[in-house]
Structure 1
Amino acid sequence: MTEQGRPGQREQFLDGAVQHVLRDGIGTLSLRPVAAALGTSDRMLLYYFGSRDALLTAILDRVGAILMSGLTTSQPQGRVQPDRLLAAMWTLAADPVSEPILRLYLEILGLASARREPFASAAAQVGAEWLGWAQNRVDVEPECRKDTAAGVLAVFDGLLMMRYGIGADESDGAARWAVRHAAGEKGGS
């Protein structure tokens, strides 16, 4: 949709809506609470976005971009061994600033697992972007990059679920274990 109304207003509404879902979640998003949080009406959101689904898609696109930006800026440059990639990704997870976005990411994955749209499409898009990014970062033989990258992402997602479900101490211990095993070390702790 082209910008109508006040210049920049759609972008301001989108920024505010992203902050709203980072604070309150996205699974039960409806226009009235978002509009109230933004100090506007649901009709104004419809004017700028066209529909609830269009607003939701714009939010999911923005969240995906934020996730990729966080991953990209927090990582070492060039190709790295899988254990170093996982360790660097886990550093991002331990950053309190990243917590709301990573919690929202897990919520989106949960909604996607129930085949709810547009969450399933957004999760597939973000997953494909992360996989491509990880494939370009992991330092293994070219024929092993896709599987290795997928493995690193699977471990990261599992560690996130553990962090927000069980606790930081347990997930940090599991991350240390996973990094050691990805590096080829043995041992239980």
Structure 2
Amino acid sequence: MTTPQRNSPRQKELLEAAYVYALHSGISELSLRPLAEAIGSSPRVLLYLFGSKDGLIRALLARARADELDQIEVLADLRAADEGTTSVARRLWRWLSDDARRGLVALWVESYARSIMEPDGPWGGFARETVNDWLELLAAGRPAEQHGTKAAEAECTLVLAVLRGALLDLLATGDVARTTAAVNLQLDLLDGARPHREGLSP
């Protein structure tokens, strides 16, 4: 293993190119030679810049998470004060289900699964970090006095599970209309049940 040459302009340039490649080709079966050929580099240069294949994968996962966090920041800026978890979820689903994001969300799902299956590998921690990121965004839509309550935590977890399940379906079938209808149905049901649910003790 070589010592990675961090933060050099060439490393940043190749990381962006490798990220575009991963969005189209995936990351779990990443091979250095085809990647290097596709982005105009060589396996030796990639190993020099990132230290190892695992180092490159970690850099790509960090790059994917940076995109995720940027979107969370955008959604947080757009939300109205105390607009509610389901309103945030609807906006989040519109973003996730956009055809332009298909490569990105496929990469997230792929990395999420590998993180669970190989917790000690370069993917380690990605799934947990992603769950925490989205739960934090969903919780931010609630009134401050509800933050940290068991009822709020349960609702955010349920909404995230609905979005994640619909996203897997969407990636498998490409059926935006059906999955969107299912998401909206579940969120409508949550909205209708809220008065009773909000009465739950923390």
Offset, 1:126:
2.1
Unpaired segments of 5 or more residues in structure 1?
A: none
Offset, 1:64:
0.8
- SS of residue paired to 1:137: coil
Q: Which residue of 2 aligns with 1:70?
A: 71
What is the alpha-carbon root mean square deviation over aligned residues? 2.0
**Aligned partners of 2:5 and 2:11 also within 8 Å:** no
Offset, 1:46:
0.6
Q: Which residue of 1 aligns with 2:200?
A: none
Offset, 1:3:
4.0
* Counterpart check, 1:173 vs 2:155: no
Paired residue type of 1:151: L
- SS of residue paired to 1:119: coil
Q: Which residue of 1 aligns with 2:101?
A: 98
Q: Which residue of 1 aligns with 2:166?
A: 159
Residue identity over aligned pairs, in percent, reads: 23
Give the Cα–Cα distance (whole angstroms) in 2 for the partners of residues 82 and 182 of structure 1: 10
Q: How does 1:102-181 map to 2 (within 5 A)?
A: 102-115=105-118, 117-139=121-143, 141-142=146-147, 143=149, 144-166=151-173, 167-181=175-189
Comparing 116-125 with 19-28, greater Cα deviation is found at: 116-125
Give the Cα–Cα distance (whole angstroms) in 2 for the partners of residues 76 and 91 of structure 1: 14
Unpaired segments of 5 or more residues in structure 2?
A: 194-202
TM norm structure 1? 0.86
**Aligned partners of 2:27 and 2:110 also within 8 Å:** yes
Deviations 1:97-139 (A, max 9, x none): 2221111111112223323522242222222222233323334
- Alignment CA distance shift 1:77-1:58 (3 Å): farther
**Aligned partners of 2:15 and 2:60 also within 8 Å:** yes
TM norm structure 2? 0.81
Q: Which residue of 2 aligns with 1:24?
A: 25
User: How many aligned residue pairs are there?
Assistant: 183
Give the Cα–Cα distance (whole angstroms) in 2 for the partners of residues 120 and 3 of structure 1: 21
- SS of residue paired to 2:15: helix
**Aligned partners of 2:89 and 2:159 also within 8 Å:** yes
Give the Cα–Cα distance (whole angstroms) in 2 for the partners of residues 3 and 159 of structure 1: 38
**Aligned partners of 2:85 and 2:139 also within 8 Å:** no
Give the Cα–Cα distance (whole angstroms) in 2 for the partners of residues 132 and 81 of structure 1: 13
